[in-house]
A and B are shown apart, each in its own frame.
Chain A
Amino acid sequence: QVQLQQSGPGLVKPSQTLSLTCAISGDSVSSNSAAWNWIRQSPSRGLEWLGRTYYRSKWSNDYAVFVKSRITINPDTSKNQFSLQLNSVTPEDTSVYYCARASVGATRGAFDIWGQGTMVTVSS
C-alpha cells in the first residue's frame, strides 16, 4: 500500500529555512494521477494547505497565496520523494507539518494518503 514517510528537523531558528522531506513508497512522485502536497496544522490556524507539486507531461507547482513568496516544493525522482522549503520562518510558522497525496483518479483530488506529521518549532 502507499505510504509517506516524513523526515526533517523539529527545531528551526527564526529567519532560517525550514526543510522537510517526504519519501514515497507504493506510488511514484512522477505519477500522472497524483499530486504531492504539504499541509500544516496549528491550534490557532487549523489546517492550512501550503502547496503541491505534480507531473502532467511536465512538472508544475501551486502554492498558497499566504506563503507564495517563501515556499518551494521540489520533486526528487531519483529518490521518489518530494521536499518542502519554507524560508524566513517566524514563530508563527510553528506547526505540525504533513505531506499528503491527492489522487486525481481514485478520489478526485482528495487527500487520501497522509504522512505521519512532523512537529516543527520555530524558536531561538
Chain B
Amino acid sequence: SYELTQAPSVSVSPGQTASITCSGDKLGDKYACWYQQKPGQSPVLVIYQDSKRPSGIPERFSGSNSGNTATLTISGTQAMDEADYYCQVWDSSTVLFGGGTKLTVL
C-alpha cells in the first residue's frame, strides 16, 4: 500500500526558512496538500495542488512537489508557525496522510 513519510520533527530559528518534506513513491505524479495543526485545534489547509495557497494563508507558506518528494517551505518563520504539519494525497479514490512533522521555532 502507498505510504507517505515525514520526519517527526524540524527545528528552525525565528526569521529563518523551514523546510518540511514528505516522501512517497512517485509522489510528484500526485497532487500534494499540506495542513497545519496547532494543539487542541482542527487542521487548517495551508497548501493545495502542490503549491497553491488558500485565501488567508500568508505568502511565507509555499510548496513544491517533484520526483518522490513534496516540500512545504516557510520563509521568515514566525513563532506562530510552531505547529504540526501533515502532508496528504489522494491515491485511487482513497486519502493518505503523512505521519506529521512537529515544527519547533526556537
| A interface residues with partner B (beta carbon < 8 Å) | 37, 39, 46-49, 62, 64-65, 98, 107-112, 114-117
Contacts and interface: CB of A to CB of B under 8 A. Distances in A.
A108 B50 CA distance: 10
A39 B97 CA distance: 10
Contacts of A65: 94
B42 A110 contact: no
Interface stretch (B9-17, B64-72, B85-93): B85-93
Contacts of B45: 107, 110-112
A111 B86 CA distance: 12
Interface in B53-75: 54
- Which label, helix, strand, loop or mixed, suits the secondary structure of the B interface? strand
A114 B33 CA distance: 15
- Which residue of A47, A48, A108, A117 has the most chain B CB atoms within 10 A of its CB atom? A47
A48 B97 contact: yes
Given A47-B100, A48-B97, A110 B33 contact: yes
A115 B43 CA distance: 9
B99 A110 contact: no
14 contacts: A46-B86, A49-B97, A98-B43, A107-B33, A107-B45, A107-B52, A107-B54, A108-B31, A109-B48, A110-B45, A110-B88, A111-B35, A111-B88, A112-B48
A93 B52 CA distance: 34
A49 B94 contact: yes
